[in-house]
Structure 1
Amino acid sequence: MTVATGVGSYPGEDFDEALRVVLGELTDLPHLPEVPGRGITAGMVGRGLAVVADLGVDLQPAGWRLTDAPGVDHRRARSLLAQDLDALEEHGQGLAGTFKIQVCGPWTLAATVEKPRGDKVLSDHGARRELAQALAHGLVDHVRDVRRRLPAIERLVVQVDEPALAAVLDAQVPTASGFGRHRSVDRPEASESLGWVLGAIAGAGAEPWVHSCAPGTPLGLLRGAGARGLSVDLTMLSAADHDALAEALDGGDTVALGVVPGTDPETGLTDAHVTESVLRWLDMLGLDPGEVTDRLVLTPSCGLAGASPGWVRTALAVLRKAAANL
């Protein structure tokens, strides 16, 4: 059975309201919403650093930076995540089936967070290795905590967000000065670090997915590193991407297909339009819908933080109806 879910982020500053929308609209595959409108500690990177174990960070004028001990903003990020999980535990009593959480991936963190003396973690082989391993370690505890709070959940999905991975591999991440670019990371190293994180998720009893709506993300590398689900924007796919997704579906993995805009569209969109576009895509790949739709998930193209509240509800309703059509 095809189901619908969200990518992660929602507009506004009210986490409880975002959670109510998710639990009300995405009944087959709800997820833990992110509400970055509350501030940088609630954003994707702050959320990821709240999960990281054994490393301290603090917020500087240039952004997040590694420190000897957790700073006040790092403690706030961890406290905010704990509060959100408390709310999930309260509102999610009795939730069963499948649930999804999201976390910022190791390469997006490395391309965003600075070393203690400046410049990105990405510039230092040892530092990026340490950050990836600390994220993997922290995720084991995070998965256990979510499972403790939602004891009836049978299948827990952890979506690793890697919007910066393509830029990391293509040497497109700017240096601190802004006048240069960091050297590209070799694909074996990129796969190894992702493998630590995805392997930790699987080892904790959850199902690892990777999401990126950035063009040029190597989907084959993600599967090789251990991703059992690929979350992508349908409008950003290359010919090679289509082949990789067909292989994933044939191989029994999940494909989460971004099929509605993440911001308010200029023209209306119906579930019939979405259903037709997905069926056309499957036909182009030569796949029988009856054989693969149980491994297909429909999502927005990316997070919904930039959308209006009205479009959020419309988009999720369209996704849910289109999934039922399929």
Structure 2
Amino acid sequence: MDKLQAMQVFTRIVEVNSFSKAADTLGLPRASVTTIIQNLEGFLGVRLLQRTTRRLSLTPDGAAYYERAVRILSDIDEAESSFANMKKNPRGKLRVDMPGAIGRLLVIPRVHEFRRQYPDIDLMIGMGDRPVDLVQDGVDCVVRVGHLQDSSLIARRVGVFQGVTCASPAYIATYGVPETLEDLERHQAVNYFHSRTGKIVDLSFIVEGEVQEVKAAGPVAVNDADAYLTCGLEGLGIIQPPYFMAKPYLLSGQLKELLPRWKPEPMPISAVYPHNRHLSPKVRVFVDWVADLFDSCPLFNGQATSLCPEKPPAPVTVDAEEEEKCLICA
């Protein structure tokens, strides 16, 4: 019996609470996972897991073994990652997840650079606005927007998410331009709701250094960033999309910035990963790479000087390499 593999299989089963999910995330047949646990229990002479058709739970012996196995596996990861060749040549499958708009507009156009630097990493990129459970879904790292509250995860701030309040000319022609936050009581907004909780995200503004949230009536609520932006373009209400998505429509006149005195609350963008992944070289290099990616773009590093210029900037001649460095800001 491979004791190290048995520990890895056992801890993954506990983390995802499923034999089949553990098999999928480890790339093993379901039958092999079952056999490995049976052999481990036979070798130790104790029952580690209570299994029924509907439930999976740790026995007291299983809980004690799990705590020790996690420490041992972490020590092994630390020892392996200390070698220079591991730092220089990380390898293996890396599963990451991020909001769809960030993935499409910023990460995917540059992912070939990551592949060129780390050819031995097989990158799986999931994109969507629905939050994932890193442990249950076997995801190594996610890029998340907003303030994080899960203390079981490690987060590194990699960028800033700046929104902009705006509406289409068609909406403005019907409802007028709000001059103050109080005017919003007479306006409509496209509402955005959290996929997991169903909670509506209120409009937010920075007023004298403090965040002020404003509830606005709205005929439509969505939970997808692209749909949210499209609803605003179609004149269904005021929206607060990320500026990096709204920028081309602001420059073309398809959207108009509203209430420029009171900007929406900036939100942190973080790379998040579980405690037991924090020493993995492949996670470390991805987080470093994505942090550099955000830092190279003024729309994500908090250094953009103007959110809504009166007219498009004059064309600037740049070579292909320089243009690629700031694709989303071009």
The TM-score by the shorter chain falls in which range?
under 0.3
Q: Give TM-score, length-normalised by structure 1.
A: 0.24
**Bigger radius of gyration:** 2
